[in-house]
Structure 1
Amino acid sequence: MEMESIIEYLENKTILVTGATGFLAKIFVEKILRIQPNINKLFLLIRASDSNLAMHRLHTECVCRYDVALAINTLGVEHLSCFVNECPNMKLLLHVSTAFVSGEKSGIIFEIPFKMGETLNDKNHLDIREEKRVTQERHRQLIVEKANEEAMSSAMTDLGIQRAKLHGWPNVYVFTKAMGEMLLLKRLRQDVSLVILRPTIIASTYKEPFPGWIEGVKTMDSFIAAYGKGMTSCFLAHPNKVLDIIPADMVINVMIIAMGAHINKPVSMTIYHVGSSMSNPLKISTFKNCVIEYFAKHPLKSQQGNPIITSKTIRLLSSMSSFNRYMVIRYVIPLKVFKYLNILLGRAFNAWYLDAERKINIIFRLASLYKPYVLINTIYDDANLNKLHDISEMETFFFDVKSLNWEDFFMNIHIPGLVKYALRK
């Protein structure tokens, strides 16, 4: 399907967008309205109507807290498929998942679907109804125990990690996303075409609607921000690991091209990996050097307006054991010493101690969450994605990751965008 026919096809069509307050959804809606202002209707499903705080909290809980992640990433997808099944004119469902549903598998990961009940460790049969039952039972127990919100969140996060690892996934987010894919394949009406996009780490926009746009600080950006603020000079990552990154607007262009490619064809189910590890691999060492060079040239300012001096080197901790050892020596042991001093001083610094303990626990959890992205060498096959190049017009729907110069992208687009749109708010 040529570019003109995709745009023409969108004329007078109706599109439902779920998660419409999300970063990708905003770029998608902007692009659709710009290339086809004569679309019939856009229905935008919005979960929260108040502040950005609600969205930030929702994102955090979808990543870590099992009851919330299960409700949205898994059962929410099932509810969506039931809704689609009641819409007789619905022709296509495009679902955005994540490439990291592959868990901690190394080597080449192919664009193939999960089977219902499949696990990554082949040790147990995965029963999604049982996962729901276990979660509800634990929730009831916590209510009986009169657990406060913090205790409830912590317990549900721990439960999620336990259940994910039981079946071979490293964290709650990718586990619940994988179960969502399973339910979608099982529940969706057979005469509706299904496209599942599995993007890798989503970076800022490359071109549209303007270069460098990003919302929030996630995955690799957490390290960039911490380094730029002078808070760290180490990074959990293997130097030879390929960091799989894709600009956000390229993901959107693939979404639109995939819609056009499948809408007028016989009913089909297709999975697309949208990433860079196969076509234009980025080494962690290249990423590290870009971060050092950028902040050496463009230091952030402290609250007093002074340039923040960053380390000239970044130490890469290439295993979880080396990371844990570093954290224990640098932070955990000193904090334990401070704990006893605080007791001797009548707990005068109790608030500071509890805050520091909380932050250290968060760092350990984030390390566990991000381990698959920075330690395990995984290459995501993009054979299906490459077929779309034959039917796309690259100036309008640009997604040729091979043409990206990573040094230029980080130095002139991504890190400046992160500083402008996320760190200076």
Structure 2
Amino acid sequence: MCEVEREKNIVRFFKGKTLLVTGSTGFLAKIFVEKLLRVQADVKRVFLLIRAVDAASAMQRLQHEILGKELFKALKEKYGDGFQSFATSKLWPVAGDIVHENLGIQDSNLVSKFLKEVQIIVNVAATTNFFERYDVSLDINVLGAKHVMQFAKQCVKLEMFLHVSTAYVSGTERCGLIPEKRLLIGETLRSGSNSSYELDIEAEIDLTEKKKVELQSDHNLTPQAQKLAMKELGMQRAQHLFGWPNTYVFTKAMGEILVLGHSRGNLPLVIVRPSIITSILRDPLPGWIEGIRTIDIFMMAYANRKLQSFPGDPQMIVDLIPGDMVVNAMMATTVAHSNQQSEFIYHVGSSTRNPITYDSLLQCWFDYFSANPRTGKDGEPLKITRKMTTISRTTFLIMGYQFLLQVLHLLNFLTCGFIFGRLYDDLNHKYKYLKVLIDLFEPYTFFKGRFDDANLEKLRATIGEEEEEEMFDMDSKHIDWNSYLHDIHIPGILKYECK
């Protein structure tokens, strides 16, 4: 990895630059855009690709889904009545969609303008749903990545193509230190040399299209049944055939393979692979987050007394990283490798430098919610009296539910459903809910790997100015997990997502 030239001051680098950001209404992209405007007011222009039918709709989404967020509070206070004028002079919403060539931009003059002016492309667009329809995930995470790369290759002034992926493209069955290395064309996570396990991306796309036509031609299937079938196809291809834990990371891996493929040429490329992204740690708004993400689903189920057991190994490491640290890494790597006609891969996480175990995480949940219980529908506090228990075999809990359901089903039959019907429905709902959680998250809660972040450590060492090192902090060692989780992250979830 080439070191950052010391004269490449991060803030100064973005002065006068023109950027294109995809996925701009998403959580991470918003943090990136806000940070860029806050630290470098003299950025020339930021084109924001927004899924919309026309320019007016794109502008409306910019106002409501980006600038209307509390995340921009610091900028609004800084500029006062001039905030809108400042923001609209820098941010240019563009109606488009990465699932189409030329990013779905209909105006050929606008496309020509982009190709002549854009210097940096930041591709954050993705569907992060673990259990997404396979066709949707392929369109966005695979073909979308390919289309953005093809667009980037046409930009005559391009200095950097930054692609945001996920650390879990390596899968969840590996142990030990996982290196920051590229995925190879045809490579899968299944062991052995059996050629039937070779990954052919074009074949996956063709298979999905044929399956979609087949489902649509079956008039006995409801739209919901067709949707479920496409979801199950993605999970089946990911888990059972190729070895990835879910459709999301499987398609993100394919997207990386296309971006890193032979057609990249000499495009300057950085791939940033965050682990589990959490709320903002420091600036501009500690605790700010959008969406209850991954592990926080278990936390809220526990806080609402819907779940008392956690399907995981308490001694395993949960790799969390605040969103602002990810954005700091995105900006620093962009500057470090601008105009370098090569590829660079960065893990951005905490499992190597500052690990936290699931046991510590569960203890923090207990400490917080036993002192600050949620309120039930009846207005009474939902008292938390014990820490979540962990189970090493999820089937034990599932089989326990199944046995109770079978007993209740028999009793319902004998009593015509008059006595135990409601109890059975309630238990069956909890069972299905728990089974979905286990199926989706068990690969992560028993994960024995750690993500090597040697490239990021080398990069940190080259940032010479103390003020800039603090402004773009991306060192997970600086996180006090107990303080962050108890005082920032959990209150942020409750404030911004559980209003």
Give the TM-score taking structure 1 as reference length. 0.91
Q: Residue 119 in 1 paired to residue 188 in 2?
A: yes
Name the CA shift for 1:358/1:15 in 2 (closer, same or farther; >3 Å). farther
Q: Which runs of 5+ in 2 are unaligned?
A: 66-125
Match of residue 285 from structure 1: 359
Partner SS state of residue 383, structure 2: coil
2:268 to 193, 200, 212: 193
Shift of 1:272: 0.3
1:46 to 26, 50, 54: 50
Partner SS state of residue 278, structure 1: coil
Name the CA shift for 1:121/1:79 in 2 (closer, same or farther; >3 Å). same
Q: 1:84 touches 1:188 (CA, 8 Å); kept in 2?
A: no
Match of residue 369 from structure 1: 440
Deviation readout 1:321-359 (Å, 9 max, x if unpaired): x21221231x33334445566666489999997787566
Name the CA shift for 1:135/1:46 in 2 (closer, same or farther; >3 Å). same
Query: Within 5 Å, which residues of 2 pair with 1:61-210?
Result: 63-103=131-171, 104-122=173-191, 123=194, 124-146=197-219, 147-165=221-239, 166-186=241-261, 188-210=263-285
Deviation readout 1:214-242 (Å, 9 max, x if unpaired): 11112110011011111111111101101
Shift of 1:102: 1.0
Q: 2:278 touches 2:293 (CA, 8 Å); kept in 1?
A: no
Deviation readout 1:383-415 (Å, 9 max, x if unpaired): 001011123322210111112111111111111
Match of residue 20 from structure 2: 16
Match of residue 55 from structure 1: none
Give the TM-score taking structure 2 as reference length. 0.78
User: Which one-letter code corresponds to 1:96 in the other structure?
Assistant: V
Q: 2:238 touches 2:250 (CA, 8 Å); kept in 1?
A: yes
Name the CA shift for 1:390/1:273 in 2 (closer, same or farther; >3 Å). same
Q: 1:81 touches 1:188 (CA, 8 Å); kept in 2?
A: no
Q: State the distance in 2 between where 1:269 and 1:243 align.
A: 28
Match of residue 83 from structure 2: none
Bigger drift between 148-157 and 43-52 goes to 43-52
Bigger drift between 110-119 and 130-139 goes to 130-139
User: Which one-letter code corresponds to 2:402 in the other structure?
Assistant: V
Bigger drift between 304-313 and 12-21 goes to 304-313
Shift of 1:154: 1.3
Q: 2:131 touches 2:231 (CA, 8 Å); kept in 1?
A: no
Bigger drift between 146-155 and 268-277 goes to 146-155
Name the CA shift for 1:240/1:142 in 2 (closer, same or farther; >3 Å). same
Partner SS state of residue 423, structure 1: coil
Q: State the distance in 2 between where 1:276 and 1:60 align.
A: 20
Q: State the distance in 1 between where 2:273 and 2:135 align.
A: 23
2:403 to 315, 326, 333: 333
Name the CA shift for 1:347/1:200 in 2 (closer, same or farther; >3 Å). farther
Query: Within 5 Å, which residues of 2 pair with 1:305-344?
Result: 305-318=379-392, 322-329=393-400, 331-339=401-409
Q: Residue 259 in 1 paired to residue 330 in 2?
A: no
Q: State the distance in 2 between where 1:18 and 1:44 align.
A: 6
Bigger drift between 297-306 and 178-187 goes to 297-306
Bigger drift between 372-381 and 362-371 goes to 362-371
Name the CA shift for 1:263/1:59 in 2 (closer, same or farther; >3 Å). closer
Partner SS state of residue 378, structure 1: strand
User: Which one-letter code corresponds to 1:246 in the other structure?
Assistant: I
Partner SS state of residue 183, structure 2: coil
Q: 1:98 touches 1:177 (CA, 8 Å); kept in 2?
A: yes
Give the alignment's Cα RMSD to 1 decimal: 2.5
Q: Which has the higher contact order (CA 8 A, sep 6+)?
A: 1
Name the CA shift for 1:410/1:177 in 2 (closer, same or farther; >3 Å). same
Name the CA shift for 1:358/1:59 in 2 (closer, same or farther; >3 Å). farther
1:27 to 28, 31, 40: 31
User: Which one-letter code corresponds to 1:136 in the other structure?
Assistant: E
Q: 1:235 touches 1:314 (CA, 8 Å); kept in 2?
A: yes
Match of residue 109 from structure 2: none
Q: Residue 212 in 1 paired to residue 216 in 2?
A: no
Shift of 1:366: 2.9
Q: 1:74 touches 1:180 (CA, 8 Å); kept in 2?
A: yes
Q: Residue 410 in 1 paired to residue 478 in 2?
A: no
